Amino acid sequence: MYHYLRNRRNQRYFPLPFIENFLPTKHCHWPFSTFTVQTPNANPSLEAVPSNFHAHSPQRPNLLSTHNLTSTHPAAPSLDKSPPFDQNTLNDIISSNKIITSYIRSGDLSSALRVFRNMTVKTTVTWNAMLAGYSRKPGKLTEAQKLFDQIPEKDTVSYNIMLAGYVQNSDMETVWSFFNSMPSKDIASWNTMISGFAQKGAMAKARELFLAMPEKNSVTWSAMISGYVECGALELAEKFFEFAAVKSVVAWTAMISGYMKFGKIEKAERLFKEMPVKNLVTWNAMIAGYVENCRAEDGLKIFRIMLRYGIRPNHSSLSSVLLGCSELSALQLGKQVHQLVCKSSLRDDTTACTSLISMYCKCGVLDDAWKLFLETKSKDIVSWNAMISGYAQHGAGEKALHLFEEMRGEGIRPDWITFVAVLLACNHAGLVDIGVRYFDSMVKDYGVEPRPDHYTCMVDLLGRAGKLVEAVDLIKKMPFKPHSAIFGTLLGACRIHKNLELAKFAAQNLLNLDPQSAAGYVQLANVYAATNKWDHVARVRRSMKDNKVVKTPGYSWIEIKSTVHEFRSGDRVHPELASIHEKLNELEKKMKLAGYVPDLESALHDVGEEQKEQLLLWHSEKLAIAFGLIVVPYGTPIRVFKNLRVCGDCHRAIKYISAVERREIIVRDTVRFHHFKGGCCSCGDYW
């Protein structure tokens, strides 16, 4: 079903800098105005009744008597024609048709059938309503066929409904045969066929029909454009979009989604600003596109703009926004979205609740995630996975495994994502033997074939525990070619245990698979630095420069009153830098009095000890924590996020800071969460 927003607003400009060049566009509030064709799967979550027929027909209906109901199928009674009817009869038919339509739209076929069977007179519209209910419901195609055969006066709508049912529930050969048998075809018939082939990726056949179609409308062009986008033929989609006689909002939105899918963000932005009319799906495409292209901040900005225009978000909007909040650790906006969910019809929606659980976990608020998990009325496998993963990320391995066993007790069968979370929990808790048992049980007990992610977890589990030889043996036994993450994980374990020979092996394999991998060079350099082989470190860095490999700069950030403050190591631009340095110097004195000794191995530069200490003191996470100590009220946890792993010295220093300042400090790096309190870390110094 294709929706069009009516044009009710005056032209307005976007207020935020990152889209300040967008052209004026027009928007409106609900409801949508609607143009509908018999397109299969247009709204797969609902059993739609075609909206091109109504509870009463503009023409005088054909009336059919049903005094003697005899049928081989309850939905398909045999009927005799009735005598002439009066206005009261017509009013009863109109009322009954409306009731049937309402039941079908809500998915209640049984109630619709009860009303249908009690009607003494039926019109073709009545039959079409019931046919729509059966033809769109999975597993009911046989009943729909029987019902279709019983319709005394079939019209074009009857054939279109049945055609759409075949497209949704049968193979395209059957669909093609039925299409050719239709006594008459209208635009909706052709559009249904083209959409059907497009949705199944048969774009050559869709194009053949498109060229043969006697008359086309905007839906026809939209179906072709959307089909080419879905099958990845973006250039063909562009050509059809360029030559489309009428460009509907569906076509514009399909192109935006396609550009975002292939990382052509600027083209998507240009189309978005040029669109004459936008609907909710368009906004969702932009929000999701930004988030999926690692530009979550822009996604959250455009979501705020959408709200200012009065566009009400749906679960798709909120899921994308919550994913963006998770990536940016934007807890305050995440809480605001939670309020939106609570005030909407989505408050009991499992998908929305699961997205919130995931957001709270990834923002470091595990207690709120658990509370919401308990309040979620209908938990699916995704809900359980989100909570198990949350516990695993936070190092609560035993809780994660207990929850896994509880899930099994509820009769929910784990999937491959569940086992990634379970193995991650074992990994972060150092539960090597238990992790091996779960890995072995995947195929044997659950029929879940191990994927690269599972092998990566196992290599990490064995490597962190110092079982480097076993990790290498596992890599060699993998049933598929190892990917770069496998060797990157092994290389990280070699750095921890200072195994230079295996580090060279892992680095060579990593760089063979991904020559531009900055992580491979950096990790190898770190291994050399940890063993004081500075000439080798210099050689690795020269190799990086020669191969034009750029290391991702490390940075940390902290959210204060919905404002994100970002810090880089040795930061020189933050407006509060003087106060931050003063706080760090004060902390350094307190920590050393408490027994802190800088871990100079974490300073990966061949300089003097005093300079190394200074470099360590200005690491990005320490700068962010010092700022948090200044501005975050006492008693409120300080939450800091980092784009790389926390170094050994920072981990040691933060334990001392949590003790001398009597503050809870939560740090998320690329691997896990660290909860520092009273001089201890939740990871138990195992990360």
pLDDT score, position 92: 80
pLDDT score, position 320: 92
Rounded to whole angstroms, how far apart are CA atoms 104 and 112? 6
pLDDT score, position 13: 29
The residue ranges of DSSP E strands in 76-229, in sequence order, are 80-81, 121-122
pLDDT tens, position by position, 8-38? 333 332 333 333 333 333 333 322 222 222 3
pLDDT score, position 86: 61
Rounded to whole angstroms, how far apart are CA atoms 88 and 547? 85
pLDDT score, position 601: 67
pLDDT score, position 446: 93
- pLDDT average per 10 residues of sequence, the chain (687 residues): 31 34 34 29 33 35 36 38 58 85 84 86 88 86 90 91 89 90 92 92 92 91 94 93 90 96 95 94 96 92 92 89 88 90 85 91 93 93 96 93 96 96 93 95 93 95 94 94 91 87 88 83 80 82 84 88 89 91 95 90 62 85 96 95 90 96 94 93 85
Rounded to whole angstroms, how far apart are CA atoms 683 and 428? 7
Give percent of the chain with pLDDT exceeding 90. 52
623 with 653, same domain: the answer is yes
230 with 341, same domain: the answer is no
169 with 204, same domain: the answer is no
Tell me, letter by letter, the H, E, C secondary structure of 377-413: CCCCHHHHHHHHHHHHHCCCHHHHHHHHHHHHHCCCC
Rounded to whole angstroms, how far apart are CA atoms 633 and 616? 26
Residue with tokens 């989609």: 237
Residue 600: DSSP 8-state:
G
663 assigned to some structural domain: yes
pLDDT score, position 613: 80
pLDDT score, position 602: 62
102 with 216, same domain: the answer is no
pLDDT score, position 418: 97
Given 378, 404, 429, the domain boundary residue is: 378
Given 323, 345, 378, the domain boundary residue is: 378
565 with 657, same domain: the answer is yes
pLDDT score, position 631: 96
Give 405: exposed, middle or buried? Use CB within 10 Å, 0-12, 13-18, 19+: exposed
572 with 661, same domain: the answer is yes
pLDDT score, position 630: 96
677 with 584, same domain: the answer is yes
pLDDT score, position 608: 66
467 assigned to some structural domain: no
306 with 213, same domain: the answer is no
**Residue 21, amino acid:** N
568 with 653, same domain: the answer is yes
294 with 364, same domain: the answer is yes
Q: Which residues are registered as beta bridge partners of 2? A: 35
pTM: 0.71
Rounded to whole angstroms, how far apart are CA atoms 417 and 387? 12
- Are the C-beta atoms of 422 and 438 separated by less than 8 Å? yes
Find the domain containing 250 and state its range.
200-256
229 assigned to some structural domain: yes
The total domain count for the chain is 4
530 assigned to some structural domain: no
566 with 667, same domain: the answer is yes
Q: Give percent helix, percent strand, percent coil of the chain, each to the nearest 5.
A: 60, 5, 35
474 assigned to some structural domain: no
